[in-house]
């Protein structure tokens, strides 16, 4: 049987249910309130830390400025003005780069030409050997013919033998180096540019350092720093430069013949000047790719290098 609830019981039951629901609502509200307070505290703490950090930074900047006068010193301002006023000469940089590339191309052509000359010289040597062998065989044949003719009482053998040797010599062609030497001696006269000791000869050599090329295109004449250099020939100054491995150097042209004076300390002439034989044109130095004071003396015929000691006594 169901229990019949009185009106008072119903009222009390309703109050209990209301009170229970009201208590749950208060617990939720309290929890949310606590969370909001924590967030506010975190934001406040973060803001406070940021303000403290900014204050310390401002204090540090003020302290550095007050205790370090270098930033506003005359020396600092002078250096800043020098940096701001520096003007790069792009035209000069371009010209120097162009000269270096031109010098490199010229040296490369010279090396290729020397290799070709070496091949031609070897071929000429082989031809000369064959010609000498043929000459010897011809001489032996002529001797046999002469002996036979003398035995048979026939004259004129000696004259025919000399004619044969002369024709053989005429058929031997000169090497390119011999032709260049002959042309230089026929068109140009030389004097010694300086008095000194030859420290490195022309041609292949044992390099003492990695920067020293094994193939030497001229002759090095050791002398004291500042020794006056005289022009070995007359001619026109076509190059007066301070760039490249040659350092301060001159190139004087006489027709197909050119002479290079390299590693100088000072140059007395400039590009376009006409110089006479014996004129002082520079001083001995050690500029560029050099290991000590000396004159690099180089002779070329149509840009083919020649051993200077085959042209004049140094």
- Give pLDDT, residue 143: 56
Whether 162 shows a pLDDT value over 90: the answer reads: no
One DSSP character per residue, the chain reads -PPPPPHHHHHHHHHHHHHHHHHHHHHHHHHHHHHHHHHHHHHHHHHHHHHHHHHHHHHHHHHHHHH--GGGSHHHHHHHHHHHH----HHHHHHHHHHHHHHHHHHHHHHHHHHHHHHHHHHHHHHHHHHHHHHHHHHHHHHHHHHHHHHHT---HHHHHHHHHHHHHHHSPPPHHHHHHHHHHHH-----S---EEEE-SEE---SSTTS-SEE-SEEEE--TT-EEE-SS-EEEEEEE--STT-EEEEEEETTEEEEEEEEEEES--TT-EE-TT-EEEEEB--SS-SSSEEEEEEEETTEEE-GGGTS--
Domains of the chain, by residue range, sit at 1-86, 97-152, 186-310
Checking if the pLDDT of 155 tops 60, the result is no
Name residue 277's beta-bridge partners: none
Q: What confidence score (pLDDT) does residue 98 get? A: 81
What is the architecture, at CATH level 2, of domain 186-310? Answer: Distorted Sandwich (2.70)
pLDDT digits (tens, 9 = 90+) for 56-114: 999 888 877 776 665 556 676 677 677 666 565 667 777 778 888 888 888 888 878 77
pLDDT at 154 over 50: no
This prediction has a pTM of 0.47
Give the tens place of pLDDT for each residue, 239-273: 999 999 999 999 999 999 999 999 999 999 999 99
Is the CB of residue 275 less than 8 Å from the CB of residue 237? yes
pLDDT at 201 > cutoff 50: yes
Q: 277 with 191: CB under 8 angstroms?
A: yes
At 217 the pLDDT is 93
């Amino acid at each position: 049987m169901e229990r019949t609830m009185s009106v008072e019981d119903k009222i009390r039951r309703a109050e209990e249910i209301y009170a229970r629901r009201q208590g749950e609502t208060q617990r939720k509200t309290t929890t949310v309130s606590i969370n909001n307070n924590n967030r506010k505290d975190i934001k406040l703490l973060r803001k406070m830390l940021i303000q403290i950090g900014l204050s310390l930074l401002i204090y540090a900047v003020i302290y550095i400025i007050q205790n370090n006068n270098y930033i506003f010193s005359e020396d600092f301002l002078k250096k800043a003005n020098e940096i701001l006023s520096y003007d790069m000469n792009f035209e000069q940089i371009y010209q120097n780069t162009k000269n270096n590339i031109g010098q490199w191309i010229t040296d490369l052509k010279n090396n290729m030409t020397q290799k070709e000359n070496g091949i031609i010289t070897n071929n000429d040597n082989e031809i000369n050997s064959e010609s000498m062998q043929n000459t010897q065989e011809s001489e032996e044949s002529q001797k046999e013919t002469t002996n036979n003719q003398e035995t048979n009482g026939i004259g004129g053998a000696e004259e025919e033998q000399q004619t044969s040797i002369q024709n053989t010599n005429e058929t031997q062609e000169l090497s390119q180096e011999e032709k260049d030497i002959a042309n230089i001696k026929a068109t140009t006269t030389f004097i010694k540019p300086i008095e000194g000791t030859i420290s490195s000869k022309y041609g292949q050599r044992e390099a003492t350092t990695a920067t020293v090329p094994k193939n030497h295109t001229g002759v090095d004449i050791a002398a004291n720093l500042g020794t006056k250099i005289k022009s070995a020939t007359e001619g026109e100054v076509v190059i007066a430069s301070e760039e490249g491995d040659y350092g301060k150097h001159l190139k004087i042209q006489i027709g197909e013949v050119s002479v290079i004076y390299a590693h100088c300390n000072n140059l007395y002439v400039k590009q376009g000047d006409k110089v006479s034989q014996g004129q002082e044109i520079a001083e001995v130095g050690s500029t560029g790719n050099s290991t000590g004071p000396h004159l690099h003396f180089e002779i070329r015929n149509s840009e083919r290098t020649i051993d200077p000691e085959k042209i004049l006594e140094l």
